[in-house]
């Protein structure tokens, strides 16, 4: 197995011997949990555009990655924050991504795909109104429904600016949910993922905010498939899960505690809509398959070593987690470069990437250690480390 020198705290280089990859069993869906991977986009590194200004996408490789996820039995949550939505990906490019993904999904009968709808084409500036927010949501909902897509109703930075009270959130969600053609997934993205969303639902206190969200879901339960919450707090998720209206799913967005939340307890469980499933897709697929066949021990055995990796990728500042997700795809040969939309490959330190490599190796997720080690050496060399 390859050995390479990786940096550790204090500026030292320490030899690291890679391990054989884990042979994850092939899954035979369906699973007994609904499972979406929020998928990343692959940048076009040769486009003659300024990466901080224009999003240039390698469409073929981006769609190929979605096919990879579907082949493992996972659904695709499209054009979400994992795809750098509002963080390098604008609405016109996101809509093109949604169109291409929906077209590809038609080649695979029965696969799951749901697409993010928000208000990111509306600038979140002082003076915008609730009616502006409603019109923005309506525009994106109509565009996705015209393509035949299912909707994930994303949180709105503009709504945070426009709302004066929790009643304004009720007004917006009541209006939009009354118009959608099919039940949607509501997404509550916490401020650790996007600081501009602090105070969502009209309260900075998550417990108070949760009550408003529950009121929205209860009033519109026929138009809601479920809610995905991304607060990185398992106790808050469980508390909310137990208060959901009958028939409304909880989709865990907790990239710190997903294994135990998916497994659930005597009072219920969470389905999954997770960014980390992009990075650990073979493990997630094998674990869900084991669980669906009654083998909870194997489920936890597979996922347990992925949790330290996930907690590392999603560590604060959490909004930079996309860098780790894309780095995993690069290490595993699912794309040919480590260039990101918005130049976000620079958002994590050299030490962070070195630890990510070690944790991915421990979890058995480097499917070709020779290739992964070669690519790791290239990245380290660019950063001044002779690995």
Give tens-digit pLDDT for 165-222: 999 999 999 999 999 999 999 999 999 999 999 999 999 999 999 999 999 999 999 9
Pairing outcome for strands 3-8 and 224-230:
unpaired
Q: In this structure, what token pair is assigned to residue 179?
A: 């118009």
Bridge partners (DSSP) listed for residue 229: 188, 252
At 387 the pLDDT is: 72
Residue 11 confidence (pLDDT) above 90: no
At 205 the pLDDT is: 98
Quick one: pLDDT band at residue 82, thresholds 50, 70, 90? very high
Average pLDDT of the chain, as a whole number: 97
| CATH classification of the domain holding 83 | 3.20.20.70
At 105 the pLDDT is: 98
Higher pLDDT, 47 or 149: 149
pTM here is 0.96
The Cα-based distances of 70 to 30, 125, 334, 370, 382 in angstroms read: 12, 39, 14, 26, 34
At 133 the pLDDT is: 98
Residue 204 domain-assigned (yes or no): yes
Average pLDDT of span 35-44: 98
Residue-wise pLDDT for 92-126, tens only, equals: 999 999 999 999 999 999 999 999 999 999 999 99
Average pLDDT of span 348-376: 98
In which element (H, E) is residue 196 found? none
At 9 the pLDDT is: 87
Residue 354 domain-assigned (yes or no): no
Cβ within 8 Å of residue 152, ≥6 positions away: 77, 80, 114, 115, 116, 117, 184, 185, 186, 187, 228, 273
Residue 137 domain-assigned (yes or no): yes
DSSP conformational letter for 128: -
CB 384 within 8 A of CB 354: no
Residue range of the domain that includes 90 = 28-304
Calpha distance 132→130 (Å, rounded)? 5
Residue 85 domain-assigned (yes or no): yes
Calpha distance 91→22 (Å, rounded)? 39
How many structural domains comprise the chain? 1
Q: What is the DSSP string of 225-282?
A: EEEEEE-S-HHHHHHHHTTSPTTPEEEE--TTTHHHHHH-BTTB--EEEESHHHHTHH
The answer to whether the Cα torsion of 256, 233, 130, 195 is positive or negative is: negative
Residue-wise pLDDT for 225-250, tens only, equals: 999 999 999 999 999 999 999 999 99
Quick one: pLDDT band at residue 52, thresholds 50, 70, 90? confident
Residue 314 domain-assigned (yes or no): no
Calpha distance 387→373 (Å, rounded)? 9
Average pLDDT of span 355-361: 98
At 153 the pLDDT is: 98
Give exposure, 140-176, as e/b (b: 16+ Cβ within 10 Å): bbebbbeeebbbbbbbbbbbbbbbeebebbbbbbeeb
Whole-number percent of the chain with pLDDT over 90 = 95
Q: Out of 9-13, 100-104, 182-186, 364-368, which region has the weakest mean confidence (pLDDT)?
A: 9-13
Residue 186 domain-assigned (yes or no): yes
Instruction: Specify burial of residue 82 (Cβ count, 10 A radius: 0-12, 13-18, 19+).
Output: buried
Closest by Cα among 321, 332, 347, 330 to 82: 321
Whole-number percent of the chain with pLDDT over 70 = 100
Residue 228 domain-assigned (yes or no): yes
Residue 189 domain-assigned (yes or no): yes
Calpha distance 261→263 (Å, rounded)? 5
Quick one: pLDDT band at residue 358, thresholds 50, 70, 90? very high
């Amino acid at each position: 197995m390859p050995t390479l020198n990786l940096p550790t705290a204090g500026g030292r280089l320490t030899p690291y011997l890679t391990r054989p990859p884990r042979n994850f069993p092939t899954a035979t869906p369906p699973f007994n949990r609904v499972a979406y991977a929020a998928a990343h986009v692959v940048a076009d590194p040769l486009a003659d555009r300024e990466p901080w200004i224009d999003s240039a996408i390698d469409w073929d490789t981006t769609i190929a990655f979605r096919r990879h996820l579907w082949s493992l039995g996972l659904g695709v949550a499209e054009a979400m924050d994992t795809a750098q939505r509002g963080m390098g990906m604008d609405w016109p490019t996101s809509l093109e991504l949604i169109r291409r993904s929906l077209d590809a999904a038609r080649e695979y009968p029965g696969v799951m795909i749901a697409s993010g709808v928000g208000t990111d084409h509306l600038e979140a500036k002082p003076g915008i109104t609730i009616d502006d927010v409603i019109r923005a949501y309506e525009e994106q909902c109509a565009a996705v429904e015209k393509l035949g897509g299912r909707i994930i109703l994303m949180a709105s930075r503009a709504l945070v600016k426009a709302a004066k009270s929790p009643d304004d959130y009720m007004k917006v969600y009541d209006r939009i949910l009354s118009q959608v053609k099919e039940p949607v997934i509501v997404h509550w993205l916490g401020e650790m993922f996007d600081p501009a969303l602090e105070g969502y639902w009209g309260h900075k206190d998550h417990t108070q905010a949760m009550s408003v969200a529950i009121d929205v879901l209860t009033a519109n339960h026929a138009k809601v498939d479920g809610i995905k919450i991304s607060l990185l707090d398992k106790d808050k998720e469980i508390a909310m899960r137990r208060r959901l209206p009958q028939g409304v799913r909880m989709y865990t967005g907790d990239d710190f505690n997903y294994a135990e939340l998916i497994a659930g307890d005597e009072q219920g469980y969470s389905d999954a809509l997770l960014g980390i499933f992009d990075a650990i897709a073979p493990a997630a697929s094998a674990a869900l398959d084991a669980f669906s066949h009654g083998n909870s021990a194997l489920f936890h055995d597979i996922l347990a070593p992925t949790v330290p990796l996930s907690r590392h990728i999603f560590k604060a500042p959490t909004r930079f987690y996309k860098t780790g997700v894309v780095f995993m795809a690069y290490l595993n040969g699912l794309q040919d470069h480590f260039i990101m939309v918005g130049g976000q490959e620079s958002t994590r330190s050299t030490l962070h990437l070195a630890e990510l490599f070690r944790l991915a190796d421990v979890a058995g997720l480097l499917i070709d250690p020779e290739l992964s080690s070669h690519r790791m050496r290239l990245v380290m060399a660019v950063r001044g480390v002779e690995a």
